Amino acid sequence: EREQLKALAGLPAITRDGTSLTLNANLELPREMEGARDAGAAGVGLLRTEFMYMNRDDLPGEEEQYQELRDLIIAMDGRPVTARTLDVGGEKLAGALADRFATPANPALGLRAIRLGLKEPKLLETQLAAMLRAGAHGPIRILVPMISNPSEMRKVRELMRAVARRLLRRGHAIADPLPPLGAMIEIPGAALAADSLASVSDFFAIGTNDLIQYTLAIDRGDEQVAYLYDPLHPAVLRLVQFTVEAAGRAGIPVSVCGEMAGDPRYAALLLGLGVRELSMAPGNLPLVKRRVRGLDLREATRRAGMIMSQTDGGRIAALLDDFNEALG
Ligand code: PEP
Ligand code: MG
């Protein structure tokens, strides 16, 4: 079984009826690249750069971040790397930053992620500079966490352009053209306004971990309410579906990079909803790839349609079980 899964790394992620899918890896640190490569990832769908800020007393500077990203990009050898800007706050605290900012009364709803980056543009500029410079060595995409509003995307894009001009003046090589700039869809309001966000985004990445947390008002780290944390809640599925459709209408790519994408049972449903790109912990890639290779996409689309016409979570789960048994 182990050997079988290992052999999958070299095989294409293609459905039984011939559609190619993109299965990417989520990384916490750039130097974890080997896990992604060994598992046969098509690219890095999510690099959680905040981990470069954790377990230390100082902040990583532009040069350090540039070098780490550059090494990752070179190691990925032409496969795209999606670097997310700092996503701290809530359950993710970074040593040197925790000291500088008061913990909000409600960290999940407070000054976190891109809100922090826009309040402290120096933080964001350092990251954007490192990313733009690393992008001179291979394909990079820049992803912005916790977007709730198109104006946030516009501000980040302006900042990226200003940083690019400054780097060029300083004589640095940078990504040319400038990298695609994407919005994470992980707030219900962002999903419901996905049409307006699509007009200012080059791609979407749906973060189901936070999307579920905010949609159902369930702290993702709270054991006492974990039983209510349900990826199959119709509200969650409808938000995912709407986002995927909005991306389709706008002609921009959309991926799913929450834990849901790395579970073969849910992956089948996500593909049926029109998602063609999934990003997950490297360890989940073989199982999801095996699922994908056994899947008939037309059938998956039909089954997803049936599931989406249901209003009851239990019924949805039962239909999904049938689906996975029939096509396992
Ligand atoms: C998510 O929210 O689903 C996500 C991928 O981001 P993180 O888990 O880092 O918050
Ligand atoms: Mg998130």
At 281-291, the pLDDT tens digits run 999 999 999 99
pLDDT-based confidence at 100, cuts 50/70/90? confident
What's residue 91's pLDDT? 61
| CA nearest to 270, candidates 121, 144, 279 | 279
Whether the CB of 186 sits within 6 Å of ligand 1: yes
- The phi, psi pair for 12, rounded to 5°, reads -70, 150
What's residue 22's pLDDT? 98
Q: Which residues of 236-263 are buried (b: 16+ CB within 10 A; e: fewer)?
A: bbebbbbbbebbeebebbbbbbbbbbbb
User: Which of 257, 270, 280 to probe ligand 1 with, by most ligand atoms within 8 A of CB?
Assistant: 257
Judge contact between 150 and 195, C-beta under 8 A: no
DSSP character string of 29-77? SGGGHHHHHHTT-SSEEEEEGGGGGSSSSS---HHHHHHHHHHHHHHHT
The ligand minimizing its distance to the Cα of 206 is: 1
The set of residues, in sequence order, having a beta carbon less than 8 Å from that of 57 and lying 6+ positions away, is 95, 96
Does the CA dihedral 185-190-193-195 come out positive or negative? negative
Compute CA 227 distance to the chain's CA centroid, rounded to the nearest angstrom: 24
What's residue 92's pLDDT? 67
The ligand minimizing its distance to the Cα of 48 is: 1
